[in-house]
Amino acid sequence: MAADMRLPTIRKPVSISAFDRKDLVVPGDVITSDTGFMRGHGTYVDEDKLTASVAGEVQRVDKLICVRPLKTRFNGEVGDVVVGRITEVQQKRWKVETNSRLDSVLLLSSVNLPGGELRRRSAEDELTMREYLQEGDLISAEVQSVFSDGALSLHTRSLKYGKLGQGVLVQLSPSLIKRQKTHFHNLPCGASIILGNNGFVWLYPTPGQQEEEAGGFYTSLEPVNLSDREVISRLRNCLLALAAHKVLLYDTSVLYCYESSLQHQVKDILKPEVMEEIVMLTQQKLFEQEG
């Protein structure tokens, strides 16, 4: 029977002093004793000192101080890109699971019709809703508005949004996704990635050409070749490694981690010692780039 043995090895010392975080707090930590600051979410005043009530990252906006929790459900804002799963088909709307406290809503009037037609939605469209999206389908969408109870209203009125085809879904913490101008990236390694602000990351083979006639409902069901599957599997393991070490996820960090992992087999990336080595190399590259 095959056995996987790990022997101790001498590792190169890596300086991590540059990565020490001064803005991370735990409940009870005093953020500031200056009374000129305003109290935001995740803080309370104790004996005239502003104190953290949750574990997370301190954020300052002018005189307002709040603490963003490291582990939380998704609190959506208008314009956020999300990846979600259809959970229910209702009258003129779909319910979508987006890792938030309440199910999000995708209205029939907020999706493109097949063929890109611009017209009012009729009763016939309502009867054929399951032909567009049904329970279990994965979609990419954008937050259009936030209801008073905190539920999100989504829309897919752009060709870059819509139903997702073949790929891999990785579920991570929303606090690890870095906000950027675009969350759709075609990586040079041959795969594409959608970094949803809600912590759902979608990995898929880079499509050769975009099918515009389908209005976002076309999904390719052709077999994915072995090399593309290996690249996607490696990227998935890299994402899990970065998330385990609480590294912010964006196109550059994912690509650096992918490059650092090429000397290891895909199945070895999630071994603790290999994971630590790959993440250290990634952090060094990011620090050199920023420095």
Measured between alpha carbons, how far is 4 from 14 in angstroms, rounded to an integer? Answer: 27
Q: What is the per-residue pLDDT for 157? A: 86
Q: Of 232, 278, 240, which is closest to residue 257 (Cα–Cα)? A: 278
Going residue by residue through the chain (291 aa), what tens digit of pLDDT does each one get?
A: 777 777 776 666 555 444 455 678 999 999 988 888 888 989 999 888 999 999 988 988 888 999 988 788 898 899 999 999 999 999 999 999 999 999 999 999 888 877 666 677 888 888 888 888 899 999 999 999 999 998 999 999 888 898 998 899 999 999 899 989 999 999 999 899 999 999 999 999 988 765 544 455 556 777 888 999 999 999 999 999 999 998 999 999 999 999 999 999 999 999 999 999 999 999 999 998 886
Question: What CATH number does the domain located at 24-69 have?
Answer: 2.40.50.100
Per-residue pLDDT, 132: 86
pLDDT (0 to 100) of residue 222 = 79
Name the residue ranges covered by the structural domains of the chain: 24-69
Q: How confident is the model at residue 250, as a pLDDT?
A: 94
43-49: long-range contacts, CB 8 A cutoff, minimum separation 24:
43/67
Beta-carbon count within 10 A of 212 CB: 11
Q: What does the buried/exposed string (b/e) look like for 90-109 if buried means 16 or more CB atoms within 10 Å of the residue's CB?
A: eeebbbbebbbeeebbbebe
Whether 163 and 138 have beta carbons less than 8 Å apart is answered as yes
Return d(Cα 98, Cα 288) in angstroms, integer.
35
Per-residue pLDDT at 137: 93
pLDDT of residue 213: 43
φ/ψ of residue 122, rounded to 5: -100, 175
- As a residue count, the chain comes to 291
Total-model pTM: 0.83
pLDDT given for residue 18 in this prediction: 44
pLDDT at position 129: 86
